[in-house]
Amino acid sequence: MAFESFGTMRVNEVGHLEIGGVDTLKLAQKYGTPLYVYDVALIKERARGFKKTFEELGVKAQVAYASKAFSTVAIYQLMHEEGLSLDVVSGGELFTAMKADFPAERIHFHGNNKTRQELEMAIDYGIGCVVIDNFYEIELLADVLQEKGARMAVLIRVTPGIEAHTHDYILTGQDDSKFGFGLTNGQAEEAIRRVMANEAFQLIGLHCHIGSQIFETTGFKLAAHRIMEQLVVWRDSLDFHAEVLNLGGGFGVRYTADDQPLPPSEYVRAIIADVREVAQGNALAMPEIWIEPGRSLVGEAGTTLYTIGSRKEVPEIRKFVAVDGGMSDNIRPSLYEAKYDAVIASRPLEEPDETVAIAGKCCESGDMLIWDLPLPKSYAGEVLAVFCTGAYGYSMANNYNRIPRAAVVFVENGEDRLVVQRESYGNLVQLDLPLY
């Protein structure tokens, strides 16, 4: 095979790319393009894999889907079916969870600037916990809780000062971060004191998230180790006993053949080994371990189908092949220089005979999906399948140039199911108020 396939992806009898037992050309024809296609079996496999690893290790755990990666009613329902918890970071994501009837007690609320209205909504829905990010939020949440005569379980987010090896823009674990309380500069301790002193809070533990698209276990182990050692200190000095240690997400996925992520279970095993070591060495009760995978649950399960349109050849320099989407459905290449791989859906095994640049249709020179893609000579009307677009694609989709957002379809066992409709031109002007 010319490409390494994900999940149930294969080349079918007629030589077309097939996902979940469904021919991708048929999907493109039925639903139009651009189209996000999700391999449901692969999502389930990943969800079960994380859960099983904890079970095998005999560790109490929660696996929370970091839903900013792909937030829709259908995926929330699927994650609920799989017994996962859910991270939300906004009122909009929380509302989506409510629409999906996601059990409130398994929802965790993140974010560095939750508004009063969002916190009220979270309390009213009865969510499981709020991850407190900063001093302002301690005051704000305490105020809202007092007003409502309610209590809330909270985690305190700390930044352990670990730099994960990944793109700078998506680094969140180092000291110079907008997220969380510094572990080493005294802020985390001050936050714990204030939260413990307030009756409205039930402080259940700590949270940290060291970054994204991480391929090594080193960063996770270091972070877990540092926090656990600090927990020993705070047990003795503050009488603080963390029931929960949430170590975030960020487990890497394979966007291209250059990415070599470990199996998700490896990260979990490495983390647990370190936490156990410190716990046992210091007679500290083993905390419940929570993790928050986003892209590793849904990234590789997603494939975007586009229709190829115009072609522009700049002699000696570049061959541009444009598709009917771009930064409107996948802004990551423009934002992070993210890399992707792709094939022509009708003949994925054919040998490439040129290197092309896949351009989007938006009015931005930076609207490129792939800069250097080896591909057989392609023609207008053919379907291009871009791999590993399941995370931060649809969730970052936008209406730049008033391009309607693409539809989303789930495929499994030879069946396809539309889970997000394509936006219509009518939808685009729905909120516009005419002057006359």
Ligand X SMILES: *Cc1c(COP(=O)(O)O)cnc(C)c1O
Binding residues for pyridoxal 5'-phosphate: 250, 292-295, 392
Task: Considering the complex, state which of residue 132 and residue 391 has its C-beta at the smaller distance from ligand X.
Answer: 391
Task: Considering the complex, state which of residue 85 and residue 334 has its C-beta at the smaller distance from ligand X.
Answer: 85
Residue numbers 188-247 binding ligand X by CB under 6 A:
209, 212
Kindly state whether residue 155 participates in binding ligand X, applying the rule CB under 6 A: no
Task: Considering the complex, state which of residue 69 and residue 222 has its C-beta at the smaller distance from ligand X.
Answer: 69
How many other CB atoms sit within 10 Å of the CB of residue 169?
A: 10
Task: Considering the complex, state which of residue 44 and residue 68 has its C-beta at the smaller distance from ligand X.
Answer: 68
Kindly state whether residue 302 participates in binding ligand X, applying the rule CB under 6 A: no
Q: Which of 129, 208, 362, 363 is catalytic?
A: 363
Instruction: Decide if 129 is catalytic.
Output: no
Q: Nearest approach, Cβ of 261 to ligand X (angstroms)?
A: 11
Give first-to-last CA distance, the chain, whole Å: 59
Distance CA 127, CA 118 (A): 12
Kindly state whether residue 249 participates in binding ligand X, applying the rule CB under 6 A: yes
Distance CA 259, CA 410 (A): 25
Task: Considering the complex, state which of residue 274 and residue 300 has its C-beta at the smaller distance from ligand X.
Answer: 300
Q: Nearest approach, Cβ of 430 to ligand X (angstroms)?
A: 30
Q: Nearest approach, Cβ of 231 to ligand X (angstroms)?
A: 19
- In contact, 187 and 175? CB cutoff 8 Å: no
Residue numbers 58-97 binding ligand X by CB under 6 A:
66, 68-69
Place of tokens 């094939």: 343
Considering only the stretches 197-205, 289-297, 351-359, 369-377, report the one whose residues sit in contact with ligand X under the rule CB under 6 A. Answer: 289-297
Task: Considering the complex, state which of residue 128 and residue 293 has its C-beta at the smaller distance from ligand X.
Answer: 293
Considering only the stretches 198-206, 215-223, 248-256, 278-286, report the one whose residues sit in contact with ligand X under the rule CB under 6 A. Answer: 248-256
How many residues touch ligand X (CB under 6 A)?
16
Kindly state whether residue 264 participates in binding ligand X, applying the rule CB under 6 A: no
Q: How far is CA 182 from CA 80, 120, 172, 341, in A?
A: 33, 27, 12, 38
Distance CA 301, CA 423 (A): 22
Residue numbers 333-392 binding ligand X by CB under 6 A:
391
Kindly state whether residue 8 participates in binding ligand X, applying the rule CB under 6 A: no
Task: Considering the complex, state which of residue 292 and residue 412 has its C-beta at the smaller distance from ligand X.
Answer: 292
Place of tokens 């995926």: 75
Q: Nearest approach, Cβ of 110 to ligand X (angstroms)?
A: 5
Distance CA 417, CA 104 (A): 26
Residue numbers 16-35 binding ligand X by CB under 6 A:
none
Task: Considering the complex, state which of residue 106 and residue 295 has its C-beta at the smaller distance from ligand X.
Answer: 295
Residues 6+ apart with CB under 8 A from 274: 221, 224, 225, 228
Q: Nearest approach, Cβ of 66 to ligand X (angstroms)?
A: 3
* Residues annotated in a binding site: 250, 292-295, 332, 336, 364, 392
Of all residues in this chain, which one has the CB nearest to ligand X in the complex? 294
Q: How far is CA 26 from CA 16, 283, 349, 422, 424, in A?
A: 10, 60, 18, 17, 21
Q: Which listed residue (248, 287, 325, 360) binds ligand X by CB under 6 A?
A: 248
Kindly state whether residue 250 participates in binding ligand X, applying the rule CB under 6 A: yes
Q: Which listed residue (46, 106, 108, 110) binds ligand X by CB under 6 A?
A: 110
Q: Beta partners for 323?
A: 308
Q: Nearest approach, Cβ of 169 to ligand X (angstroms)?
A: 12
Residue positions annotated with a catalytic role: 363
Binding site for ligand X (CB under 6 A): 66, 68-69, 110, 209, 212, 248-251, 292-296, 391
